[in-house]
Amino acid sequence: MTLDCDSPKEACGIFGVYGVENVAPIIYRGLFSLQHRGQEGAGIVVSDGSEISSVKGQGLVNDVFSRQPIDKLVGNLGIGHVRYSTTGSTRIQNVQPLVAECVDGLWVVAHNGNLVNAAPIRKMYQEAGAIFQTSTDSEVLVHLLADPMYRSRPRRVARALAELEGAFAFLLMTKNCVMAARDKQGFRPLSIGKLGDGYVFASETCALAQTGAEYLRDVCPGELVVADQAGLHSSTFVDEDESRLARCIFEMVYFARPDSQVFGENVHSVRLKYGEQLAVEHPVDADIVISIPDSGNSASLGFSRASGIPLDFGFIRNHYIGRTFIMPEADARSSGVDMKLSVLAEVVNGKRVVVVDDSIVRGTTIRRRVTSLREAGAKEVHVRVSCPPVRNPCFYGVDFPTRDELIAGHEDVETIREFIGADSLGYLSLEGLFLSFEGRHCFCDACFSGEYPTEIACKDGKQALESMSNELNLDI
């Protein structure tokens, strides 16, 4: 994928620690490792057992915590969040973790994913007089937790979580404990690690490694894990049922870092196999294989190994420009596109080039890359994509454009090839996508297949709850 306006965006990253002295710097490091999952905002909330303190802001982790240093965050438990908005606009109120004061204490919430039934739950509470502070789907959990229906009964958190449909990895915190929960279908990853005498929770294992934590296991789908004075204990809020698992295959294709273990597999190794399989499914006579860095790197290596065509560096990435793809507004994205990758003409000039990308969304960016390769003297340009055509939007926390904006949503492969100006175009098959796994049954692949694993209560996209917030009755 071309890391810009032609790309999907991730929902968020979450990181939490319980039972370690001075957790704020550890959470900061964890969030920094998860920066690729969201760049719009970041926040850390910690507790020393009696006081809760927080720092939140818009922008990159480094920027947020240099503007507002974390020295004042004192505590031995805390959670953090990096945000890309998949519901709600880019504004400070939507930056997480959310902190809410309920009648029986403070709740802190950090969420990765998208709740497909947030709109009706929100409407129900708003009609009953509740006031929402944000336009995010995540806030409905706070209202469920505060609702006397749940508050006054046993297994309050589990019962509230059981009301939610769609994709979620949640970290929750009170003054004295950290909780981690994953939806019953297991859409988003969430791992548990051990750090000294304490515990760490992270969206991806790369963040465990980079904070010195030892990986223990993943939070299971439908499981609520609590870290408190008594240690680590677990319960389920929905009975385990393998047949309903719907892990997001796009984590493997693009989102997760190659050095993470996701759904039990190393991401780099899976992408290598995607590249190898792509070479088998779409062979081509060429002189060199190049990748669209960084997310096409592993698959291009796999393609090179399987095809015997040497791998080279055809694009050089400017690491000092932000990952513009993750900026939410079209103008902000397009302004950085041309600055990011430059062609190494010495490598591609006069060559038949295979360029490996991880996905094509709108088609506009790969088209620009193909043009720049030709302008640099490439004799032929063959595009290979390490996933099937993206034909459908995602309702589970990945901000794809609408079906109309997805080029494969309305065009066939030959028309896309013509549009991007390539000599040939080959996508990995749906079967090839699952070769590393035991078939499709434990995964969601709806953006490719159109087979959504849940009912979708609201298909209005990320601004759906925003518009609900704006429907004010001004008849006063």
245 touches ligand SF4 (CB under 6 A): no
398 touches ligand SF4 (CB under 6 A): yes
**Segment near ligand SF4 (CB under 6 A), from 76-84, 132-140, 243-251, 262-270?**
243-251
279 touches ligand SF4 (CB under 6 A): no
Determine which one of 12, 206, 387, 394 is catalytic: 12
Among 160, 249, 256, 420, binds ligand SF4 (CB under 6 A): 249
CB of 108 to ligand SF4, least distance (A): 26
Respond yes or no: is residue 206 known to be catalytic.
no
Within 131-150, which residues bind ligand SF4 (CB under 6 A)? none
208 touches ligand SF4 (CB under 6 A): no
Residue 237 · residue 224 · CB < 8 Å = yes
Q: Tell me, residue by residue from 45 to 84, as one string, x for binding to ligand SF4 by CB under 6 A and - for no binding.
A: ----------------------------------------
224 touches ligand SF4 (CB under 6 A): no
**Segment near ligand SF4 (CB under 6 A), from 137-145, 171-179, 299-307, 394-402?**
394-402
125 touches ligand SF4 (CB under 6 A): no
Which residues have CB under 8 Å from 200's CB, separation 6+?
15, 16, 17, 18, 20, 26, 30, 192, 193, 194, 208, 211, 213
Within 428-467, which residues bind ligand SF4 (CB under 6 A)? 444-447
CB of 137 to ligand SF4, least distance (A): 15
CB of 187 to ligand SF4, least distance (A): 5
CB of 384 to ligand SF4, least distance (A): 20
| Cα 316 from Cα 293, distance rounded (Å) | 8
Structure tokens belonging to residue 12: 């968020």
**Segment near ligand SF4 (CB under 6 A), from 48-56, 136-144, 286-294, 390-398?**
390-398
Q: Which is nearer to ligand SF4, 85 or 304 (CB)?
A: 85
**Segment near ligand SF4 (CB under 6 A), from 91-99, 347-355, 393-401, 406-414?**
393-401
CB of 467 to ligand SF4, least distance (A): 22
Give φ, ψ of 178 to 5 degrees: -120, 135
399 touches ligand SF4 (CB under 6 A): no
Q: Which is nearer to ligand SF4, 65 or 187 (CB)?
A: 187
Structure tokens belonging to residue 195: 């750090």
Question: What positions carry a catalytic annotation?
Answer: 12
Name the site residues for ligand SF4 (rule: CB under 6 A): 187, 248-250, 394, 396, 398, 444-447
